[in-house]
Amino acid sequence: MSTVSVVTLAKGRPAHLRNVLRGLERQTQKPAEFVVAVMQDAPYDLPEVGFPVRQILVPGTELPLAAARN
């Protein structure tokens, strides 16, 4: 069976990000990892889930979408 990594961008919407985690947690095949490009000053306070979660801070004062995607 193949593995899946999930990558997303996030800024200032912690409830939406927690909802994504809840949805992934209910899947029959959990992701190998969940990577969040965090476009704010501090990482999110996220619940423990059954797969690794990695938050990468993306610096910048504007909404750095291109940098966050890369």
pLDDT of residue 36: 96
pLDDT of residue 67: 63
HSE (side-chain half, CA atoms, 13 Å) at 47:
14
pTM beyond 0.85: the answer is: no
* pLDDT averaged over 10-residue windows placed end to end, the chain, 70 residues: 92 95 96 95 95 92 63
pLDDT at residue 20 in the model: 97
pLDDT of residue 10: 92
CA distance 8 to 42: 16
pLDDT of residue 34: 98
